[in-house]
Amino acid sequence: MKTTAIICEYNPMTLGHVRHLELARAETGAEIVLCVMSGSFTQRGEAAVLDKYVRAEAAVRLGADIVVELPTVYAISPADNFAYGAIKTIAAFPDVAYISFGSECGDIALLEQAAALLADEPEEFRTLLRQNLDNGLSFPKARAAAFDAYADRSPERAALKGLLDQPNNVLGIAYMIAAKKAGLSIGFHTVKRIGDFHDQSLDAPYPSASAVRAALQREDFDGIRKSIPAPVYESLKAIRPADSFGDMVLFKLKSMSGYDLEHYYDVSGGIHNRIKIAADRSHTYEQMLEAAKTKAYTMARLKRICLYALFDITAEFYREAAACPAYLTVLAMRADRKQLLSDLHASCKNVVTRYSDVGKVDKSLRPLIKLDFTAQGTLNIINKTNCYNKKMLFVDASSEN
């Protein structure tokens, strides 16, 4: 059956996400909508506000047919590797015709032009990028500035200027590049984002997930109620996030040496020593992040490195993960789509629907699946919950859609 894939976090699911699901299905003519969703931690290096099974069930009730987990090792990676993991997962699923994503731009042709440029990286662009990196800019800012400068040098590229200043554009372009590198023949579809990703107001037509998370910290449940679907609201009311996450990370950093930290994924340029010194001198996780922050390291990158330390994701672990075959961990699916399971098993040798399936998959995948479950257990501690599901959910969503 014709399938459209959506790569998502749903942290938490908002009315804007529901709108995207509806438009993706209608505008691509999809019979099946597949969501590839981050599990317990997100691309910004933060804990998800809700358990992955709770979020997956809500996604199915609100428009998806099936939700599979984006492996943790990719879910907490920089944008390009986040995209690589998502595309690797999608390629293992049968009959995917489109990938749909939200974007600030809303123009798929313009995004494809940008992706082609960044995939080829002309020498002139690479020179501009190197200059910006040498000036101490973080990679995202250096690339965006180089991209704009390169676009300015030709009238044919002028419309591209500013595309990399917006996070959803950047991820969409990363999906296109990753698909090209993987040799995946697939169409792309985008839904123009309404509102500003950085807007923390709940009064916007479609408040962002970050605005909802900020309101959750303030315990503004009246404001949240009008901003998200009812099933998600009920789930959020039930959690009381603890302060334990920062304590976990800070303890781990204090207990290790700078030499140990140097071996974790995405650590370079001496940042391991800076993080270690900041950790030893700080009393809170937030103090440590502020002390370690530099012009060249975004806050999201620092948070991800802290997660790599917490979960022992070394550079070697990541290289081994990238060499592993794809696997599909099914979190939830519509009860009337059970035939998809046989399709999945025919398409992918490594399908996980319950914890006991770990013994049936390629042995090289076991550390990655163990990481997924470790991350889930850690989130339970953070959110003071006991949602430790070990098997996929069948959701009767026939009356919801």
CA–CA separation, 60 and 335 (whole Å)? 10
Annotated binding residue 9: yes
CA–CA separation, 245 and 261 (whole Å)? 19
Annotated binding residue 193: yes
The residue type found at 270 is G
Annotated binding residue 143: no
Q: Which residues of 367-389 are buried (b: 16+ CB within 10 A; e: fewer)?
A: ebbebbbebbebbeebbebebeb
**Burial of residue 222, with CB atoms counted within 10 A of its CB: 0-12 exposed, 13-18 middle, 19 or more buried:** exposed
Annotated binding residue 12: yes
Mark out the alpha helices in 337-401 (DSSP H runs): 339-347, 366-383
Annotated binding residue 283: no
The residue type found at 40 is S
Annotated binding residue 102: yes
Annotated binding residue 25: no
CA–CA separation, 338 and 335 (whole Å)? 6
Annotated binding residue 14: yes
DSSP string across 234-272: HHHHT----SHHHHHHHHHHHTS-HHHHHTBTT--TTHH
* Residue 283 in tokens: 């009393």
Note if the bond before 12 is cis, omega within 30 degrees.
Answer: yes
Annotated binding residue 176: no
Annotated binding residue 19: yes
Nearby residues of 151 by Cβ (< 8 Å), 6 or more positions away: 157, 158, 159, 160, 161
Annotated binding residue 20: yes
CA–CA separation, 259 and 261 (whole Å)? 5
How many other β-carbons are positioned within 10 Å of the β-carbon of residue 3?
Answer: 21
Annotated binding residue 198: no
Annotated binding residue 168: yes
Annotated binding residue 13: yes
3-state secondary structure of 36: strand
Annotated binding residue 246: no
Q: Which residues of 345-360 are buried (b: 16+ CB within 10 A; e: fewer)?
A: eebbebbbbeeebbee
CA–CA separation, 99 and 10 (whole Å)? 16
Annotated binding residue 348: no
Q: Tell me the pairing of strands 187-192 and 66-70.
A: unpaired
Annotated binding residue 10: yes
Q: Which residues are annotated as a binding site?
A: 7-20, 102, 168, 193-194
Q: Which residues are annotated as a binding site for ATP?
A: 7-20, 102, 168, 193-194
